[in-house]
Amino acid sequence: MPKAEARAVRHGFPWVYANELVLDRRTKALEPGSLAVLEDAGRIAMGLVAVNPLSRIAARMLDPVPGAVIDRAWFEKRIAAAQTHRALLYDAPFYRLIHAEADGLPGVVVDRFGDVAVIQPNAAWAERLLQPLVEALVEVTGVTTVLKNASGRARALEGLDETSEVLVGQAPEGPVEVPMNGATYMADLTGGQKTGLFYDQRPNQAFAAGLARGARVLDVFSHVGGFSLAALAGGAERALAVDSSAPALELARKGAEASGMAERFDTRQGDAFDTLAALGAEGESFELVVCDPPAFAPSKKALEAGLRAYERIARMAAPLVADGGYLVLCSCSHAADLAKFRAASARGIGKAGRRGPIVYEGRAGADHPVLPQLAETGYLKALVFRL
């Protein structure tokens, strides 16, 4: 490896890109997910890596000890450390258990739903070593069901398939109830988005709920009611959830019913931009408006278009906020850093003829730790404006 890149890896950067590696013929022929010792330009060993010659991320650091053995015991140690942290944070086992590189398991995501764990092995090495990984997961956590979710862009970039399956136990017959922020959410663990529920917004939903007492709430890109159900639990007068997915809104309605809040909860299915325009034309007004869209800028190539989309959302949502009310704008695009997202949001609000300070800036919950050397692990941003 070149000197600068080698220094970055020694200081904790977990990836080696293809253009940073010198590969001989034998190394280029390695199967994706193979393990190898990474050496610097002086042939000094730097650690044990997982190699994927087919990926732009050609090597992922697994262990700084070159002779480490990646077996069930190795996985158990990493998973146990992750679980110890989450057990301090939450009084019930509903959280992100493994957050990839930040928990020492590059490319691996595990969300826990009580006795069920949903795993996303988004790197070739994890797919190759899935059996000892799952065995360790069951041993450490005691879960009785492990589901593999193979959806998502990350697996395609690693050359992996999209076949989801039940690895241990039996899949739940219906949605799983998830207690969070005083509400009950319904998570579809087999047919829903990603692992079935987004835990990352938990602290931001809790903050917004504190602003929602007596408020009319609009939750755009609501999925299964993330912000709206938390707001109702926090004392909101009414909440309207907007999403393009009918199944997600049905789960949101079931969550409202399970939480005893159905009479204060409404849904509207449709395109978010069209619905914002329609609500504006109807003269609607809300004390709390939340827009939590999917990643508009999932890559650097999409950054400029994504920032324009965030600006547009802010411009269309701001007029719906009552005077003195709050506008919550979120981004899960790692390519759009906080400064760029904040600027795009402020431009949109200004173009709508509104203004006001930011009263809160949030990120993902502590079950989504950030690896300081890897900006991608700090992808989530939440801004709360008072207009």
pLDDT digits (tens, 9 = 90+) for 87-142: 999 999 999 999 999 999 999 999 999 999 999 999 999 999 999 999 999 999 99
CA–CA separation, 180 and 91 (whole Å): 11
**What confidence tier does 2 reach under pLDDT thresholds 50, 70, 90?**
low
Query: What pLDDT is attached to residue 48?
Result: 97
Query: What pLDDT is attached to residue 4?
Result: 56
CA–CA separation, 210 and 256 (whole Å): 18
Cβ(288)–Cβ(240) under 8 Å?
no
Question: Residue 19 above 90 pLDDT?
Answer: no
> For residues 152-181, b (16+ Cβ closer than 10 Å) or e, as one string?
beebeebebeeebeebbeeebeebbbbebb
Q: Which residues contact 45 (CB under 8 A, 6 or more apart)?
A: 37, 38, 39, 66
Which of 260, 265, 330, 335 has the alpha carbon at shortest distance from 297? 335
- Cα(first)–Cα(last) distance of the chain, in Å? 51
Query: What pLDDT is attached to residue 3?
Result: 56
Query: What pLDDT is attached to residue 23?
Result: 76
Beta-bridge mates of residue 59: 16, 51
Q: Which DSSP state fits 146? A: E
Residues taking part in catalysis = 332
Q: By CB neighbour count within 10 A (0-12 exposed, 13-18 middle, 19+ buried), where does 214 fall? A: exposed
Please report the domains of the chain, with CATH numbers, ordered by start residue: 3-63 (2.30.130.10), 72-168 (3.30.750.80), 176-386 (3.40.50.150)
| Continuous segment of H or E residues that includes residue 205 | helix 202-210
Percentage of the chain lying above the pLDDT 90 cut? 83
Cβ(18)–Cβ(58) under 8 Å?
yes
Q: Quick one: angle between helices 226-233 and 202-210, nearest 10?
A: 40
pLDDT digits (tens, 9 = 90+) for 51-102: 998 899 999 999 999 999 999 999 999 999 999 999 999 999 999 999 999 9
Percentage of the chain lying above the pLDDT 70 cut? 99
Between 256 and 376, the higher pLDDT residue: 256
Tell me, rounded to whole angstroms, the distance of Cα 59 from its chain centroid. 23
Query: What pLDDT is attached to residue 148?
Result: 96
